[in-house]
Amino acid sequence: MTKKDKEAEAPEEAAVVEPPAEALARLEDRYLRLAAEFDNYKKRMSRERTETWGKAQADVVQRLVDALDDLARFAHVDPAATDAKTIHDGVDLVERKIWKELETLGVRRLDETGVRFDPAVHEAVTVAPAASPEQDNTVGQVLQAGYRVGGQLVRPARVLVLKWAGEEGRGTAEA
C-alpha cells in the first residue's frame, strides 16, 4: 500500500468515528430506553401474574360453590324433621362433590397405612410396637390425612409409626 492509498483511506475512517460526546449521548439514550422498556416489562408481568392468580382463585371458587350451596341447605335442615340417614347421605354427597372438584384441581389425599414412614410427607405423632420386622418404620394408622397439590405438600399426614423392638422388646410390651 502506498502513502497515497493510506491518505485516501484516512478521511473515510475519520468520517465513521463519532466524536466521544455524541457516542456517549447515543449510548446513554439507548440505556435509558432499555431501562424504561425493562421497567414496563416488569410492571406488565406483575399485572399479568396478579390477573392469572385472580382467575385461578375464581376457578377454584366456581368449582366449589355448588357444594357450598348444598352445605348451606343442610345447615338449615330441621334435625327433628329429618332422619339421621338422610342427613348422613347428604353430607356424604357433598363430600364426594368437593373431592371430585379437588381432584380435578390436582389435590391428592395422603392417608395410606402400611407404607414406609416418609418425613417429607408424614408427621409422626406417636409410636406403637410393630408385630413384625417388616412393619418397622411403617405407618400403622393415619390420625389426620395430609394433602398434596401437584408436587407441593399442603399439609403432612399426622400418623402413628410402627417400630420393631425385636423379640425381647415384644415380650416386655405384652406383659
Torsional sign, CA 139, 145, 146, 150: positive
Confidence of residue 159 (pLDDT cuts 50, 70, 90): very high
pLDDT at 175 over 50: no
pLDDT-based confidence at 109, cuts 50/70/90?
very high
- Sequence-ordered list of residues with C-beta below 8 angstroms from that of 120, at least 6 positions apart, any chain: 153
Average pLDDT, the chain: 88
**pLDDT tens track for 114-125:** 999 999 999 999
- Indicate if the pLDDT at residue 76 is higher than 90: no
Per-residue pLDDT, 164: 94
Instruction: Tell me the three cell numbers of residue 159.
Output: 400418623
Query: Model confidence over 23-63: pLDDT tens digits?
Result: 999 999 999 999 999 999 999 999 999 999 999 999 999 98
- pTM for the full model? 0.64
What are the structural domains, with CATH classification, of the chain?
Answer: 108-175 (2.30.22.10)
CB neighbours of residue 139 within 10 Å: 24
Strands 138-144 and 122-129, sheet pairing: unpaired
Q: Residue 173: is it exposed, middle or buried by C-beta count within 10 angstroms (0-12/13-18/19+)?
A: exposed
